[in-house]
Amino acid sequence: MNASTITLHVPQRSKIAGRMDFFQMVSGVLLILFLWAHMMLVSSVILSPSLMNGIAWFFEATYMAQIGGPAIFVLMVVHFILAARKMPFKQDEWKTFRVHACMLHHKDTTMWLVQVISAIFILVLGAVHMFVVLTDLPITAAKSAARIQSGWLYLYLVLLPLAELHVGVGFYRIGVKYGFVGRNKRKWFQKTENLMMIGFITIGLLTLVRFMLLNIQG
């Protein structure tokens, strides 16, 4: 077998694939920023339900909620489709990936697997959450509390850690892939990202507790 024959089996670099990777990164960053902003805005109920109501009123009065909500959902779907190009959906692909992952014992590979599994749950649960909220405007602290107290708490107890875990891993992998996080800074970045993840999950849990204790009769 000569060199010319060997090169025929080497995949050619594709500009389209590179651009899709770039758009996947951009959509991921936008979703990360949205999730962090959303968490901070909703958690304002911890300080005061009136503060949360005021923030919600502003977003609805400017139509940012009515337009931005569906736009974020579309962005989620686009991001999932772009990422799904590399997901092992077929049984033989999944089996091959699992065997290689167990053989390599590579931490970043395991983290990618966590992203794949969490992404599927987030897309479904996130879609349910957004549909329920956007079809019951205006957003108020009382409505959110009533939803939590009526049994939706369990959905958010699953969605919250999965979303933050997905974001944390995604933020790290973006940094590594595009050279923002060098090999000598990976451990430091992971520790910092873990602290941020724990912080946001804690804020989210405190927000859920505040909703559970909020008096919705008045």
DSSP string, 86-127: TS--SHHHHHHHHHHHHHH--HHHHHHHHHHHHHHHHHHHHH
Instruction: Indicate whether 72 belongs to any domain.
Output: yes
Question: Is the CB of residue 134 less than 8 Å from the CB of residue 87?
Answer: no
Q: pLDDT under 70 in the chain at which residues? A: 1-14, 87-109, 217-218
Instruction: Indicate whether 158 belongs to any domain.
Output: yes
pLDDT of the residue at 106: 61
pLDDT of the residue at 5: 46
Instruction: Indicate whether 190 belongs to any domain.
Output: yes
CATH number at residue 88: 1.20.1300.10
107 is known to lie in a ligand binding site: no
pLDDT of the residue at 9: 45
Over the stretch 14-42, which tens digit does the pLDDT of each residue have? 677 778 878 888 888 899 889 888 988 99
Instruction: Indicate whether 99 belongs to any domain.
Output: yes
9 is known to lie in a ligand binding site: no
Over the stretch 84-115, which tens digit does the pLDDT of each residue have? 777 666 666 666 666 666 666 666 667 777 78
106 is known to lie in a ligand binding site: no
166 is known to lie in a ligand binding site: yes
112 is known to lie in a ligand binding site: yes
pLDDT of the residue at 129: 92
Question: Is the CB of residue 37 less than 8 Å from the CB of residue 87?
Answer: no
156 is known to lie in a ligand binding site: yes
- Residue 148: domain span: 19-213
36 is known to lie in a ligand binding site: no
Global pTM value: 0.79
Number of domains into which the chain is organized: 1
Tokens of 98: 């699992």
